[in-house]
Structure 1
Amino acid sequence: MPKVFGKFFIAVLFSSSLIALPAITGAVETNPDLKPKAGDELPTNPAVPATASPVQKVAEPAKVERAFTIGFADIVRIGSESTQGKAAQARLKGKKDKLQTQITARKKQLEKQKAAIEEKLATFTPQQRAVKAKEFEKKIEDYQKFVQNAEKELQTMQEELTRKLFREIEQVVDTYGKANGYAAIIVKKELLYLGSEVKTQDVTDDILKLVNEKG
């Protein structure tokens, strides 16, 4: 599947060096042997050879800007409105309700046991109170572990259903993008800036329709 294009910024630095030219005028004046002799003077207006011709600059080909089309999709809408997404939500809700019922039942049972202990607390010996307190503390720990395991179980199920749904959406997007010539299909609103040479298209409806057809 085409992936989201990132923005890369490249800085190119140009540097130049200065070359100092040695002064030779003074050397000529101070050394008579270096002065031109009669007949050695250079002509003030030398003739340009007839064979010389100006250098012609080769024209560079015009730069052609290629337009890219990027599609974007509302993945949240696809997940919630697609047939597969609704089925996943229903399964998750069913599991959540079942676990919540079990948690509520265990909590009520603990409350009843606590009330029964408190009702007879005055008749207990110190040793009996210590035993009852330890037993009830163990039941509370078991209840807390059950709640934690229920939360983990629900979270694991949610992650599995989400991965499965995303794989199905990803396959549809991959096929759709290639068939319609998209450079990339991204999650809606993921990019903050696009150049003028980049075209965008909302493909949410098309992807949602194809996902439902696949389901």
Structure 2
Amino acid sequence: MTTLVKTLLVAALVTSLPGLAAASDPAPAAGTKPAAAASAPTAPAAAAPEKKTSEAAPIRQTTKLGTVDLARVGEETERGKAVQAKLQAKKDKLQTRVDGKRKQLDKLRASIQAKLPSLSPAQRTAKEKEFQKKVEEFQKLGRQLEEELSSLQEKETKALYDETERTAAAYGKANGFAIIIIKKQLLYVGSDVDAQDVTDALIKAMDETAKKK
């Protein structure tokens, strides 16, 4: 922090007033020793200037702040890669189920359309209701599978974030960081803040921990 030091300047002004001889004093008689001349008044000694108190400049302290790129953690750590692979495998499995149900639905529709010319109005209505029910079942299945995938993704992502948070806390304490935050949330850094990207260090630490398990 910049400290403004005010300088106090003390000036001593000394005024010397000389003695004045009285004009009305009589001349001394002959043979009489003249009186010793009055010594001229001495000027008072000039006051010593006041010493300026030196103010010690404050020690400038910086705060260590770490930033971490969570996207890189998810893409580059072994744990992050494992999570991505797990989610992709789950997605592919669910997609296979959806595609199978869609093919069945398409086959049923084609069959109904082929029979429509030979069906009575009542039969047509029944077939339309049957097909509509299958469509609704298919849509319900799609929502269920989507929720299943979303739930797994949320669970795995939270576990990865918690591990990242624990690693960041351990690294921050060991290396004197006051705080470690997500990189994209950083909008401004003052001159008294030592901001460092610790993503590489956290990725390395997380991978080393994974090897020990």
Q: What is the TM-score of this pair, normalised by structure 1?
A: 0.70
SS in 2 for 1:196: coil
Structure 2 counterpart of 1:180: 175
Give runs of aligned pairs for residues 115-154 of structure 1, distance below 5 A. 115-154=110-149
Of residues 43, 60, 68 in structure 1, which corresponds to 2:63?
A: 68
| 2:155 is the alignment partner of 1:166 | no
| 2:186 is the alignment partner of 1:191 | yes
Q: Shift of residue 63 of structure 1?
A: 4.0
Structure 1 counterpart of 2:87: 92
| Alignment-mate amino acid for residue 142 of structure 1 | E
| Alignment-mate amino acid for residue 152 of structure 1 | E
Structure 1 residues without counterparts, runs of 5 or longer: 1-56
CA shift digits 1:70-124 (9 cap, x unpaired): 1112111111111111111111001100110110111111111111111110111
SS in 2 for 1:201: strand
| Alignment-mate amino acid for residue 100 of structure 1 | Q
The 1:131–1:189 alpha-carbon spacing in structure 2 relative to 1, beyond 3 Å, is closer
Q: Shift of residue 181 of structure 1?
A: 0.3
Identity %: 47
Structure 1 counterpart of 2:31: none
| 2:70 is the alignment partner of 1:82 | no
| 2:208 is the alignment partner of 1:213 | yes
Q: Shift of residue 198 of structure 1?
A: 0.8
Q: Shift of residue 62 of structure 1?
A: 4.9
Q: Distance in 1 between matches of 2:72 and 2:196?
A: 16
SS in 2 for 1:117: helix
Structure 2 counterpart of 1:37: none
Q: Distance in 2 between matches of 1:153 and 1:128?
A: 38
Q: Distance in 2 between matches of 1:189 and 1:144?
A: 38
Q: Give the structure with higher Rg (CA).
A: 2
Q: What is the TM-score of this pair, normalised by structure 2?
A: 0.71
| Alignment-mate amino acid for residue 66 of structure 1 | Q
Instruction: Give the superposed CA RMSD.
Output: 1.8
Moved more, 113-122 or 180-189: 180-189
Q: Taking CA–CA contacts closer than 8 Å with sequence separation of 6 or more, which of the two structures ends up with the larger relative contact order?
A: 1
Q: Shift of residue 193 of structure 1?
A: 1.2
SS in 1 for 2:112: helix
Q: Shift of residue 58 of structure 1?
A: 8.8
